Amino acid sequence: MKTARCEGADNLPKMRVEGPGSPSQHKASNPLSQRADVPDPAPASARCSSWRREPDSDPRLEWSSESVVKPFSVTRWSVDRHSILKTYRGIEPYRRQLAEAEALQLATHWGIAVPKVRATGIRADEPWTILSVVPGSVHPVRTGQALRRYLRHARNLTARLEAHAVGLTPGIGWSQPGSEIPSGNRQFMLGQLTDRCRTYSWWSAIHERLSIVEADPTVYLHGDLKAEHFLVTDNEVHVVDWEACSRGPAVCDSADVVFHVLRDLLYDGHVVQPMTLTLLSRLSTPGAVLAWRLIRWADRRRTGDLALIPSRHLDELSLEANPVTACQRLMQLIAILRARGVPR
């Protein structure tokens, strides 16, 4: 069995790709310098680090029949519980596979505790990645103490990502392909919404009010910050699920934090305490950005769920300047959509 060879700390992993329909050898290259123009669908995995082979063909790995199915991925554990097989589905799966592999390489290089990429490939037109299992447990955000701990982990991560952001332009993934059309922060955020959003009465107002982010620095984003993506041990915190990584204003990650805490509490049937809103408000996420985050969530649920957003409430949220009130308005909107049957 052939495996990837890793160079020193100043070099990202090189690759050797073997498999049906691909050359026996590829020139070693830095995948971060070659992210440009990956069509979707396309064998993005052939441009990731590590090696490529059918996941079931490795005699050392046997996969459990149990799986965790999410809207855009399916994961299975190896029988020895040392590896995870992640299959990407839904929105641009090849780009997400490549983006996650790239982000994990850079995060490791920066000293952030993350899973290792052990293999990448494609099977039955679905891209997959084998990742190492990292230690730690998830701490649900159910108490003030747990929320404070989670916010501390999130702030520590975002501060480390922002420290490496030099000369970035907004875009999907962490690499900046030469062919990428430059855009501002607002256009980057609006570009994550489907065209059907433009048909709603609130579109023009959201477009206008997101101008608040145009002057913000562009930083590296995790793209899906939630408590379950931080695996905590006594002396280390591992961060997982980087497939939504991107480059944009830092308020995108803070909006993720606020949104996921409120949504998960409400959908799990808990009462959101005033202290929770106070702690979340310290992230100072603008109401317009929280409104965008809510729209993005509904936009990725069922086709008709966008129509269930009450326009007046959304307008009030997008105009809200007070951080505590903005979190409260977001909470009310999530509760309304839950009551109207929008799936989590």
Global confidence as pTM: 0.83
Query: Are residues 236 and 98 part of one domain?
Result: no
More reliable by pLDDT, 61 or 218: 218
- Percent with pLDDT over 90 in the chain: 77
155-174: pLDDT as tens digits: 999 999 999 999 999 999 99
- In a domain, residue 1? The reply is no
- In a domain, residue 60? The reply is yes
Is the pLDDT at 105 greater than 80? The verdict is: yes
**How many domains would you assign to the chain?**
2
Query: Are residues 97 and 214 part of one domain?
Result: no
Query: Are residues 102 and 70 part of one domain?
Result: yes
Query: Are residues 161 and 110 part of one domain?
Result: no
What pLDDT, on the 0 to 100 scale, is given for residue 60? 63
109-126: pLDDT as tens digits: 999 999 999 999 999 899
- In a domain, residue 275? The reply is yes
Q: Using pLDDT thresholds of 50, 70 and 90, give the confidence band for residue 52.
A: low
Q: What CATH number corresponds to the domain at position 303?
A: 3.90.1200
What pLDDT, on the 0 to 100 scale, is given for residue 176? 82
What is the average pLDDT score of the chain? 85
26-50: pLDDT as tens digits: 333 333 333 323 333 333 333 443 4
Query: Are residues 202 and 312 part of one domain?
Result: yes
Q: 161 with 220: CB under 8 angstroms?
A: yes
The pLDDT of 319-335, averaged and rounded, is 98
Among residues 111, 132, 153, which one ends one of the domains?
132
Query: Are residues 263 and 114 part of one domain?
Result: no
Query: Are residues 244 and 185 part of one domain?
Result: yes
- Domain holding 228, by residue range, is 144-339
What pLDDT, on the 0 to 100 scale, is given for residue 301? 95
Query: Are residues 127 and 48 part of one domain?
Result: yes
Is the pLDDT at 20 greater than 70? The verdict is: no
Q: Using pLDDT thresholds of 50, 70 and 90, give the confidence band for residue 19.
A: very low
Is the pLDDT at 82 greater than 70? The verdict is: yes
What pLDDT, on the 0 to 100 scale, is given for residue 29? 32
Q: What CATH number corresponds to the domain at position 67?
A: 3.30.200.20
- In a domain, residue 300? The reply is yes
Q: Using pLDDT thresholds of 50, 70 and 90, give the confidence band for residue 229.
A: very high
Among residues 100, 132, 164, which one ends one of the domains?
132
Q: 236 with 113: CB under 8 angstroms?
A: yes
- In a domain, residue 9? The reply is no
Query: Are residues 38 and 163 part of one domain?
Result: no
Q: Using pLDDT thresholds of 50, 70 and 90, give the confidence band for residue 1.
A: very low
The pLDDT of 132-156, averaged and rounded, is 96
